[in-house]
Structure 1
Amino acid sequence: MDYSIRTVRADEWEKVRELRLAALQDPVAHIAFLETYEVAAGRPDAFWQERAEGASESGAGGVRQFVAETPDGRWVGTVTALVERPAEEARFGEAATVDQTHLVGVFVRPEVRGGGVIDALFRAAVDWSWTLPEPVVRRVRLYVHEDNDRAAAFYRRFGFVPTGDKVAMPGSESAFEVEYEVRRPSLQSLQSLQG
């Protein structure tokens, strides 16, 4: 499949909304997302406009939404990276102890799964995390529902490892989200990979 990976633009709020609504209709949406289709579909245009602006390159800088786009302009996948700092309140899970990014909103349309789209999206989000001049990101983390075996298998294949931390799913005392992370490579590790 032919596609490119890029950051959303502020004026693409309608595409941001469409892809999110598609994600929330996926059969595993109930364990992959903390929002329902009904809630998202009911949000006003202003919500989606603000979301696209904040996740674009022209946004505040603490959020980037990456999309996989086909040559005809169709979006087939997405991941969003959120910068988290120790002094800030946690959006989900434990508060940051180091400067980090948190990957959320992971989705690839079913018809293109298995074609490398998710790998390219994650590479873009992780690379963006490592290249931030300020803050210097020390780790990238994400959470995955304990029953989402397909997603967990990809995260491990990509290099993420479970940290041992888990968080109860909102509204449930028996279902958990498991934290995974990848640590910033050392300069020596990067040099040995290059050469």
Structure 2
Amino acid sequence: MSTVIRPVTAEDWPKVKELRLAALQDPVAAIAFLDTYEQAAARPDEFWQQRAAGTGGGLTSRQFIAEQADGWWIGSVSVLIEQTGSGDVFGGAVEQDQAHLVGVFVRPEGRGTGVARELFEAATAFARGFGEPPISRVRLFVHQDNQRAEAFYRKLGFVRTGHTVPVPGDAAKVENELVLP
């Protein structure tokens, strides 16, 4: 499978929307994303345009996609730059400048091909090159029941910090924070 890893451009918004809606229909979407298909499908085009432009939510963000030679998007990961003193996606305070990887998705036909690793390499390179001084902390959260995803993240070198947050809407479950040392 020949793919190119690249950042999303503002003009890519229809494909950003299509890939996100596909991700939200994946069997593990309920434990992998803090969004539902119904919520995402109801959003206006302006939302997707802002998301593709990296201007949504007041954060600095960059989405990377894996694009096949025929233009088909096979996967994606987004990087949110969280700056000291700002709020994070779970409502906590950010104590140091850091990158937060979110929205990890690879279509079933792309799994096990190395595409996810390539996406993570691009995302972490962007994160580590951001700002002055550069970002040194790269993190993500994974649902306690998403062992497959956590196993993949561990293969990339991520380790649990011991910090957890309750899953929105299900306080009996937690999301585990993992960082890339």
Give the shorter-chain TM-score range. over 0.9
TM-score, structure 2 length as denominator? 0.95
Equivalenced residue count is 180
Query: Which letter maps to 1:76?
Result: I
Equivalent residue, structure 1, for 2:155: 157
How far the C-alpha of 1:62 sits from its partner, in A, is 1.3
CA-to-partner distance for each residue in 1:49-89, whole Å, 9 max, x for gaps?
1111116xxxx881000000000111000000000111111
Q: Which has the larger radius of gyration?
A: 1
Q: State whether residues 93 and 167 of structure 1, in contact with CA within 8 Å, keep that contact through their aligned partners in structure 2.
A: no
Tell me which residue corresponds to 2:21.
21
Deviations 1:33-57 (A, max 9, x none): 01000010011111101111116xx
The equivalent position to 1:83 in structure 2, one of 60, 81, 98, is 81
- Root-mean-square deviation (CA, aligned residues, Å) is 1.6
| Distance (Å, rounded) in 2 between the aligned partners of 1:121 and 1:177 | 22
Indicate if the aligned counterparts of 2:59 and 2:82 stay in contact, CA closer than 8 A. no
Give the Å deviation of 1:135. Answer: 5.1
TM-score (norm 1): 0.88
**Contact 2:80–2:100 (8 Å) recurs in 1:** yes
Q: Distance in 2 between matches of 1:131 and 1:31?
A: 30
User: Between Structure 1 and Structure 2, which shows a larger proportion of strand residues?
Assistant: 2
Aligned equivalents of 1:93, 1:27: Cα separation in 2: 27
Distance 1:156 1:90 in 2: 23
Instruction: Give SS of 1:174's match.
Output: strand
- Cα offset, 1:133, TM superposition: 3.4
Query: Secondary structure of the residue that 1:19 maps to in structure 2?
Result: helix
Listed as ranges, the gaps of 5+ residues in structure 2 are none
1:179 aligns with 177
